[in-house]
Amino acid sequence: MCSALEINRDEGSGVTYEEFQARSHFSEEEVLAIAHGSLIDDAPPGCKARLPLPPMLMVDRIEHVSRKGNRGRMIAERDVRLDDWFFQCHFLGDPVQPGCLGVDAVWQLLGLYCSWRGALGSGRALGCGEIEFSGQIRPHDGVVRYEIDIVRYQDLPQSGSAITIGDAQVLVDGEVIYELKRAKVGVFRDIEYADYPWPSERSRGGRMGE
């Protein structure tokens, strides 16, 4: 017997904001809906819960997300595809997934964690304390797994922003190949550039304000 949530999803509808915040996992379809901004039907003003669209989307499904105080846990996966775009150019005759994309996947997930916790605004990577690479991802590997321990989530009430810091392991087919310490992402209000490609107030970058 289908639940009301499953029936709505089958009809092409999303979930409520309350349901989004109560979820402990997200399917492949739901992850893609987050990237398109179509998962949450009643998103509050300022809610910019987003993941990058393919091909920069480095997550297929989120197996687990939880919180305990200002800490938490995330586990997500991505299936390696023989024709992934980066294997076509990095490198000719020696295809390997760029390590920076594994780091970006962790940042993508930390940004989503901020939104899942209730932060309103747009996510931006803020840095990473340490990164170690001890392996690689090749075209005939199977599944990349991201395991993230959220060591701190903090709201910044004066600015309406939030910051998440996490330690992560990236595994391929069960073997740890990357380790990250103190990866950091912030979610900030009123910074999105929705007018692309037209010039507007936020069409130029540079150093962000304090």
The residues annotated as belonging to the active site are 90
DSSP 188: E
- Are 97 and 167 a contacting pair, CB within 8 Å? no
Residues in the chain: 210
The CA-based angle 195-28-177, given to 5 degrees, is 95
DSSP 59: -
- Determine phi and psi for 206, rounding to 5 degrees: 100, -170
Neighbours of 134 (CB within 10 A): 9
- Are 132 and 179 a contacting pair, CB within 8 Å? yes
- Are 107 and 170 a contacting pair, CB within 8 Å? no
Rounded Cα distance between 148 and 169, Å, is 7
